[in-house]
Amino acid sequence: MLELRNVDTYYGNIQALDGVSLTVGEGEIICLIGANGAGKSTTLMSISGIVPPRNGEIRFEGVDITHLDPDRIFAMGIAQVPEGRRIFPYLTVQENLDMGALLRKDGDGVRADLDYIFDLFPILKERRRQPGGTLSGGEQQMLAISRALMARPRLLLLDEPSLGLAPLLVQTIFEVIGQINRENETTIFLVEQNANMALKVAGRGYVMETGRITLADTTEKLLENENVRRAYLGV
């Protein structure tokens, strides 16, 4: 579904990605783990067109999207949930969700997806008339994920969805990630510092260090890997 081939991405003179190659197959949950500053967010922003690569190629369903604008890439079915849950604080929960569905013309589908989201996160239904900014951190993360889902993406890019959440909420968010993938036929590319949770929900994973992919394997194998255990799982 998605393929990155030898992607180099820069911020001015600073090289953030160095020859990154990876694949995401339809229906998979793939995780990308790595330390602070390794280049995980940059990988997502290169895919979504926010920080386009300088070299290399990114293909989505066979189409070269390397140099397309972010709005074109979004319209093709790739939605990103950025780090830090950037919702619209002054819009209500309902209005935030409506923004996600802005490009859609299938009213029945939008209503069905709204019902689905309110089933996933009943708290959002309760709070649907409240401004997004009045929600707790965990609720804002639920809203950020839900807003992306309202676009009915085929590929969902999640940037550190568990960051700053209480352990119980982290659990909920990861359960929902699995559920969205199974029930909603949404392929998921997940960036996480919480390697333990990410490796449990994903089927395959990549490890990134200073802009390069250093390991790629099934999550089962990565969970057994001594280096991964020492560096990212703290065991």
Q: Measured from the CB atom, is 39 or 100 closer to ligand ATP?
A: 39
User: Within its chain, how far is the Cα of 5 from the centroid?
Assistant: 19
Torsion of CA 88, 91, 93, 96, to 10 degrees: -60
Tell me if 58 contacts ligand ATP by CB under 6 A: no
Residues 6+ apart with CB under 8 A from 203: 28, 29, 30, 218, 219
The DSSP secondary structure of 48-92, one letter per residue, reads TTSS--SEEEEEETTEE-TT--HHHHHHTTEEEE-TT----TTSB
Residue 94 and residue 102 in contact, taking contact as beta carbons nearer than 8 Å: no
The piece of 8-16, 98-106, 134-142, 148-156 that touches ligand ATP (CB under 6 A) is 8-16
The smaller minimum CB distance to ligand ATP, of residues 10 and 88, is found at 10
Residue 38 sits in the site that holds ligand ATP (CB under 6 A):
yes
Q: Which of 7, 33, 40, 151 binds ligand ATP (CB under 6 A)?
A: 40
Determine the interface stretch with ligand ATP among 38-46, 84-92, 181-189, 195-203 (rule: CB under 6 A). Answer: 38-46
Q: Which of 1, 2, 4, 16 binds ligand ATP (CB under 6 A)?
A: 16
Q: What is the DSSP letter of 27?
A: T
Residue placing its CB nearer to ligand ATP in the complex, 34 or 100? 34
Q: Is 214 helix (H, G, I), strand (E, B) or coil?
A: strand
Looking at the Cβ atoms of 113 and 160, the one nearer to ligand ATP is: 160
Interface residues toward ligand ATP, by CB under 6 A: 11, 14, 16, 34, 36-42, 83, 193
